[in-house]
Amino acid sequence: MTTSISILGAGSWGTALAIQAARNDCSTLLWGHDSAKIKKIEQDKKNQRYLPDIDFPELLHVTDNLEQAVRFSSIILIAVPSHVFKDTLIKIAPFLSRDSKIAWATKGFDPEDGSLLHAVVGQVLGNHVATAVMSGPTFAGEVAAKLPTAITIASASPLFAMQLTEIYHNQYFRTYTSSDIIGVQVGGAVKNVLAIAAGIADGLGFGANTRAALITRGLTEIMRLGTQLGGQHDTFMGLAGLGDLILTCTDNQSRNRRFGLALGQGKSKQQAVTEIGQEIEGVSAARETYQLSQKLDIDMPITEQTYRVLYENLDPRKAVQNLLNRDQKAEV
Ligand SMILES: NC(=O)C1=CN([C@@H]2O[C@H](COP(=O)(O)OP(=O)(O)OC[C@H]3O[C@@H](n4cnc5c(N)ncnc54)[C@H](OP(=O)(O)O)[C@@H]3O)[C@@H](O)[C@H]2O)C=CC1
Ligand SMILES: O=C(CO)COP(=O)(O)O
């Protein structure tokens, strides 16, 4: 049975996943890139910045030494933001062993070319390494507070999915396995764009009808892109699709939704980014998703208008008008 895991990325999600593994009797080493912050976490035995109320379990240790972290366990779970995902893989490559397996909980695309992250792993490490992705409706603070949560673990390797299940599953953290690595990643990456759109709509003062319409038509956009990229329809109706879309479009714990709210209330993109002060994956995902939709000729009007607000200075009110002024059409 697996008893150890290395987690790379000491932000809110990496820390919550480390706490959850260690609480489940798994010896856990959490790596962060900033030595001063790691020293403070080590002294405090908690991550004051991201999860201030949560004491670390005994089996959780931290390090700023990447080689030590990678050599600590054959299971490596990456939870850094998507814009440093590839760089992190390049840095860990020399320290990997033949047994190393790579999982990630990052939600997004490679900013260089819009690739899904499994393709980035393939480019950097080759296709022989076992991989898995963890995604679903999972706010870090709620996981750390032991509030009941469910997540999808997708892998082509049933053994690796089972090892991650053994590490993570317990009475308040349910893991479901899947073989649809593509669908799970597309759901997690694109819902962030739609959460920004839902935030904008609420910030402009629109109501529950608008929000529900955005979620539903947003799901259609995720499905159009996701199935074309090779994901399975049912995945988008599950935790990593509809589940995460509902969570982030409706609850203000979502940084992407809060970012959209600020834009809808008239704040600038820079003001909103500064105020939130954490990763807002939907900002880059809006560009990458829009570019993918153009390349593949997929109709994604909410994504397109969100992209134009973020990158072409389109007034959010005009973006809503653009959506509403499109020709009438059949729903499916
Ligand atoms: N928070 C959540 O509830 C969830 C987040 N996710 C996903 O997890 C990923 C990480 O997000 P999250 O933890 O929330 O973000 P946070 O903003 O909470 O933390 C980001 C972390 O990344 C670190 N970081 C920045 N640059 C680098 C680098 N070059 N190398 C290593 N670490 C770096 C930051 O360090 P520093 O503090 O020094 O800036 C910080 O610790 C995202 O893809 C997000 O979508 C998925 C599910 C839930
Ligand atoms: O992915 C998340 C929850 O599943 C976190 O959402 P935000 O990044 O919008 O905060």
61-76 pLDDT, tens digit each:
999 999 999 999 999 9
pLDDT at 252: 98
At 246 the pLDDT is 98
Q: Is 9 annotated as a binding residue?
A: yes
138 annotated ligand binder: yes
Distance CA 210, CA 53 (A): 35
> Of all protein residues, whose CA lies closest to atom 40 belonging to ligand 1?
11
In this prediction, residue 216 carries a pLDDT of: 97
Q: Look up the pTM and report it.
A: 0.98
73-82: burial string, b at 16+ Cβ within 10 Å, e else: bbbbbbbbbb
CA of 242 to the centre of ligand 2 (A): 13
pLDDT reported for residue 153: 98
Catalytic residue among 40, 146, 191, 329: 191
Q: Is the CB of 232 under 6 A from ligand 1?
A: no
Ligand 1 centre to CA of 92 (Å) is 17
CA atoms within a 13 Å half-sphere pointing along the CA-CB vector of 115: 13
CA distance 123 to 127: 8
Ligand 2 geometric centre to CA of 248 (Å): 6
pLDDT in tens, 186-221: 999 999 999 999 999 999 999 999 999 999 999 999
pLDDT at position 79: 99
35 lines ligand 1 (CB under 6 A): no
Q: Is 258 in the pocket of ligand 2 (CB under 6 A)?
A: no
Measure the CA–CA gap between 266 and 262, rounded to whole angstroms: 7
Strand partners, 155: 132
Cβ atoms of 275 and 267 closer than 8 Å: yes
Q: What pLDDT was estimated at residue 218? A: 98
Task: Identify whether 191 is a catalytic site residue.
Answer: yes
Give the model's pLDDT for residue 289.
98
- Residue ranges of the chain with per-residue pLDDT less than 70: 1-2
Judge whether 105 and 154 are in contact, CB under 8 Å.
no
